[in-house]
Structure 1
Amino acid sequence: MTIEGNKDEADKCIEIAQSAFSAGDVEKAERFLLKAERLYPSLRAKELLTRVRTAGASGNSSKRTPPTSPNSSNEETVRKRKIPSHQPPQREYTQDQLDAVKRINTKCKDYYEILGVTKEATDSDIKKSYKKLALQLHPDKNHAPGAAEAFKAIGNAAAVLTDPEKRKQYDLRGDEPVPTQHSHHQYYARGFESDLTAEELFNMFFGATAFPGGGPTVYTRRRAREPEPRETHAGLVQLLPVLVLVLLSMMSGFFISEPVFSLTPSSKYPVPRETVNLKVPYYVKENFHTDYQGSLRRLEMAIEEEYIVGLRHACQRERNFRESAAWKARTFGDARQYAEAQRLRTPSCDKLHAMHA
């Protein structure tokens, strides 16, 4: 039976229910309204069903029945108790789930904070954090208010930060705070939105069967009105090049190895070392001596080059700051501030001079 045929049958059931309700037969009215809802859900049927149930609960309307024996009355009472309420069960959630949703929706200012990583996080760190949060916030597992919006937020953040080009542009220009609930949960920053939906990104990481027992969510209900098979196949063929590019972009991060060293200590790089030539301090992993098979001399040359480039940038910033302070003091004719500006130190420049001395 077609959808329009279902609608016609549902309208007939509503008319019968209205007549029964007017005659005081609440049970019959409710039965036909429930049938109408199964055939073709509509606001008209829902509103009338609410009125019928309210009247039945308050006892304002009652069905006229012929006198029956006490036994038949008991049977009727038992039968009525077995009628299902047809109301969805209340979904529960924990305080931890609610706190996680509130953190994403109301407290985070950028994509890094949404995923709980630093700006120095590697691609694998971002993917690991996304997987952990996605399992915690997926609407099939987390029923707290706002879980769907938080799930979209982490999906958008992961899609941008795992794309090297988008992440580079975001780091340069994406310093606007992420809008909160007052902006209808649109998680973006100067046009940095993901081309994938949150559910599509989740399925790429976990597969479509991550929650085999989960109920329908806002991302799967639209399947009820899928086009005909031929139209679906044609649409997939047209989207195939785009999907291939997206998959290649997402999977490229899996083949990028982590850096061998770090110029700053961390839990991942706890072992201190220094280069032979310029005595530049750097830090490596605990298994560096056994796992690293490359040329140590070339590695230390790369470390020294990166260190010097960083010093040059820091030195330029220090000089700019000192010159700006001196110019401001001269402009306002403040001799004391001018003297203080002249005394400002430039430690990065001093280190550069010491290296080249």
Structure 2
Amino acid sequence: MTLEGNKDEAEKCIVIAQSAFAAGNNEKAEKFLLKAERLYPTTIAKDLLARVRAAGPSTAGPRRTPPSSPSAEDVRRRRAPTHQVPQREYTPEQQEAVRRVNKCKDYYEILGVTKEATDSDIKKAYKKLALQLHPDKNHAPGAAEAFKAIGNAAAILTDAEKRKQYDIRGEEPVHTPHTHHQYYARGFESDLTAEELFNMFFGATAAFPGGGPTVYTRRRAREPEQREPHAGLVQLLPVLVLVLLSMMSGYFISEPVYSLAPSSKYPVPRETVNLKVPYYVKENFHTDYQGSLRRLEMAIEEEYIVGLRHACQRERNYRDSMVWKARNFGDERQYGDAQKLRTPSCEKLHKYHR
């Protein structure tokens, strides 16, 4: 890990050291400042460390008496390393939430919504579950697996094309001896990790108090097992069926009529009559599209406004995080710069709501 990757951890150590120094616990403050310097050297940590050392020993707590000479048994116990991992506590409600998700059969059941749920309903359900199941907050066994499951479900069901294919082809859970469930139904696996999706909904700086960095990795492939020669044909049969279904589904799933961004497939620019939202269509749009243009443009405007709201929320989260950091470290210049951070998506959204 690079020094830049340790920056957030170093800042947490500085915050702990500041609290300890204010409480008169200079030894604890020095310990965390030294750790912050090892992770990511900063001027703030150096200056505070100098102040702590200049203040001398801790002023809080009872005075220590000089220790007596340790016995041979004491020396042996001190030298013996301990490798006990502290048990992290969790509530019965957290354990029940994890158990419910891990026993679900399909994506709708995982999020607790019906197949008629709107995009907004799905995102609302994901946010509620993500705050309950994030491993930095929920330490129950299986929380990381449940967190990945709701992330994968939300990523598939909020993508219009993937959701349509999922509804057509259905869900087929895979059971292996190594895991309780795998939520990848016939190739329906999100391109994003659980943490990346969480940051998209709550902002890249979202974190839980006291939560350390959580690493999410994709499932490792199972090691190949020795099989009999004729078993290869049997194993290829499901693959051939999936390929055939994929080819057949292509005939029934039509491409989107429009795109909010120009491309070689959607080169013709247009804009909606009501809100003047720009969108792009194919060259044969005027002859091939037989639906209601008014309904199409209403759907385009709704998608555009929803996208602006999400982008606006991310921009506000980032600005608030920078303001909080600057205020916490007492950096007036950084605090002023953070307050001046623009939120262009919010400005566009405000224009449409006037």
Higher helix share: 1
Instruction: Say whether the fold is shared (TM-score over 0.5).
Output: no
- TM-score of the superposition, structure 1-length normalised? 0.39
